[in-house]
Structure 1
Amino acid sequence: MRRWWKWAVYIGGMSVFAGSASFTVYCAWKVYMYHQPEEKPAIADRKKAYHFVLVPEELDNDYWRLVEKGAKAAAKEMGVRLEYIGPRQANIEEHVKILEKAAASKVDGIMTQGLTEQQFTPIINRIVEKNIPVITIDTDAPTSRRTAYIGTDNYYAGFIAGRALVEDTGGNANVAIITGSFEASHQQLRVKGFQDAAKHEKGIHIIAIEESDITRVQAAEKAYKILKEHPEVNAFYGTSALDAIGIAKVIEQFHRERETYVIGFDTLPETIHYLEKGTIEATVVQEPYEMGYRAVKMMVDIIEGNHVPSINNTETRVIRKQDLPLRPARNYEVRHD
């Protein structure tokens, strides 16, 4: 009888001990889990509902196709939906209408140029009032309510183009400027920066400024007109991606490759071709792929409440024939998939 009582006491004690230990472990586990952050879903799952729209100045422009490639690469990486829609040819009224349609469809974010303060600031502000964030790319609208700008410092780009021309011509040149648009703010800034870089050079004379409407044909026609009216011109500066290409065609037509200096913008395949031949002496390099890629990532940050700087300048520099080939190629080569 005593032996049975002792076994009962022993078993009861062990049960109490085991229960106490289990309770202690359970409490410890609850305390541990309380301090652990909630597990977040994978990026693709968390962001798959985001719908962004990229509206370029000109849909089939090779420069904007590089912006598109960068944006699509980031969209795939982040698991968001991206639409690339815009005017077939540069047209501010059509551009604004496309922005209005994108806002009406209640997308999550819009990326576009801020081509003119007068026309783009009001539409950007109306979009933001609908709680749709806007990022400007390539051309800013600084007085608007856009959240951020990503792209070239266009005044600086024009300034370094001017200093390159001064250096390469020894400070003696009669210069004609062909700009993509008199209205677009980034083109205005590129002209102003160039003028400021050359204004104290006694041997640099700006003879004429013409507009190309951002087309090769118009750039060539204006270059032809300038050389007919001002045969003393021996240097050209083109401020849009297509201007120097049109200028180069006319320079070769006039057989003035050796006596005429040409500096342009961007590195489209035709620009590189003329740079290798020596018809174009120099060009200003931008980073269109990086603009598109970083814009999409910034838009995700904005929607998720993360801080994004209001100004995000990409690299800009002047390159010449000896600087080829350029790397990374993704900023300079257009591959049609």
Structure 2
Amino acid sequence: MTLKTAFAALVVAAVGFSGSAIAQETYRFAVVPKAMNNPFFDLTRDGCMAEAEKLGNVECVYLGPVEHEAATQSQIIDDFITQGVDGLAISVSDIAAATTVINKAVEAGIAVITFDSDAPDSMRTAYVGTNNKEFGTALGEMLLEVAPNGGEYAMISGGAAAPNLALRVDGVREALEGSDWTEVPGSPSFSNDDIALAVQQAGDFVVANPGIKAIVPVGGWPMFAPDGWKNFVEPNKAKVDSGELALVVADTLPVQLELLRDGYAHALVGQRPYEMGEVAMQTLLAIKNGETVDDIIYTGVDRVTADNVGDFLK
């Protein structure tokens, strides 16, 4: 073997080794929800974990504030930056606070996407989740469908600075514009994703507005506590059963579907949080592999009433 041939063989061997190493490289992706006590995000976690296992070279780390706290979320993201994770998927609690740490992460070479709630002017690569304006529009349209005669209504929201929820509120209002529905003073209330507080706010709206005709939570919080939601509905059950008080609620977690089936709501508009977790892992891996991904990746919505709730419960 000549010196030239031997050198060529070494080059081929080195390239082959490098290619093998790249193929086996593993990535650590962190999913940061708004709050870990919100069961909506449990489904995102499950989708993330399942997809990571399926992909094989991805680890999903799920960590966020226990409760909805933008400052705590920013600190957790900052900690992940220090750890040097390969990618971040963030449900933004506060645009200003999140944009700062998102940009810091990107500048540190970390792939960043948002899910569920976006920070569109940040340096994130993509958003995965619901079209929140259209989601709010769907809530308003479902209210018009189940209670076309109108009246006074109130919305319950989560965090006042959450961009996805602000878009939903806008969507509801646009859908009801020009109809016989009018929004009561103090709407929307802000529960900060506190399940018990959201239930209380539903009751407070009814007490403060005896003639109110609809409650529209733009997130599923009050129904995430089924006993609390039933305690709110029961004193008003005759009005609910007759359609005099319409209950149109966001999200379609299993407990909500069961409550709808049992007559404790009229309609649900659902997101697809499990798919958000799956697609987040796929998108971050694609970014790390140097692939081009769409700036916006919508995961779709579902509209559920008593007529089709059985299909969703299967």
Task: Give the TM-score category using the shorter length.
Answer: 0.7 to 0.9
- Assess if the C-alpha contact under 8 Å between 1:180 and 1:211 holds in 2: yes
Q: Does 1:118 align with 2:101?
A: no
Q: CA deviation at 1:219?
A: 1.2
Deviations 1:69-113 (A, max 9, x none): 111111111221221111111111111100000001011111111
- Which residue of structure 1 aligns with residue 136 of structure 2? 158
User: With structure 2 as the length reference, what TM-score do the two structures score?
Assistant: 0.87
Instruction: State the alpha-carbon separation in 1 of the partners of residues 222 and 106 from structure 2.
Output: 34
User: With structure 1 as the length reference, what TM-score do the two structures score?
Assistant: 0.81
Q: Please, which runs of 5 or more residues in structure 2 have no aligned partner?
A: 1-11
Please, which of 253, 273, 280 is the counterpart of residue 258 of structure 2?
273
Q: CA deviation at 1:41?
A: 4.7
| Bigger Rg over Cα | 1
Please, which of 55, 72, 75 is the counterpart of residue 78 of structure 1?
55
Q: Does 1:264 align with 2:249?
A: yes
Q: Does 1:149 align with 2:127?
A: yes
Q: Does 1:314 align with 2:299?
A: yes
- Which residue of structure 2 aligns with residue 17 of structure 1? none
Give the secondary structure class of the aligned counterpart of 1:177: strand
Q: Does 1:58 align with 2:35?
A: yes
Q: Does 1:182 align with 2:160?
A: yes
Instruction: State the alpha-carbon separation in 2 of the partners of residues 247 and 47 from structure 1.
Output: 49
Alignment of 1:192-207 (within 5 A): 192-201=170-179, 203-207=180-184
Instruction: State the alpha-carbon separation in 2 of the partners of residues 253 and 46 from structure 1.
Output: 61
Q: CA deviation at 1:50?
A: 0.9
User: Aligned AA for 2:218?
Assistant: T
Alignment of 1:174-253 (within 5 A): 174-201=152-179, 203-208=180-185, 209=187, 210-244=189-223, 249-253=231-235
- Which residue of structure 2 aligns with residue 26 of structure 1? none
Instruction: State the alpha-carbon separation in 2 of the partners of residues 212 and 247 from structure 1.
Output: 14
User: Aligned AA for 1:251?
Assistant: V
Instruction: State the alpha-carbon separation in 2 of the partners of residues 41 and 174 from structure 1.
Output: 65
- Assess if the C-alpha contact under 8 Å between 1:212 and 1:243 holds in 2: no
- Which residue of structure 1 aligns with residue 72 of structure 2? 94
Instruction: State the alpha-carbon separation in 2 of the partners of residues 320 and 254 from structure 1.
Output: 19
Instruction: State the alpha-carbon separation in 1 of the partners of residues 231 and 165 from structure 2.
Output: 22
Q: Please, which runs of 5 or more residues in structure 1 have no aligned partner?
A: 1-33, 330-337
- Assess if the C-alpha contact under 8 Å between 1:136 and 1:146 holds in 2: yes
Identity of aligned residues (%): 28
Q: CA deviation at 1:253?
A: 3.2
Q: CA RMSD in A?
A: 2.3
Instruction: State the alpha-carbon separation in 2 of the partners of residues 292 and 270 from structure 1.
Output: 20
Q: CA deviation at 1:193?
A: 0.4
Query: How many equivalent pairs are there?
Result: 292
Instruction: State the alpha-carbon separation in 1 of the partners of residues 147 and 230 from structure 2.
Output: 17
Deviations 1:200-253 (A, max 9, x none): 11x111114111221221112112211111101011100112134565541223
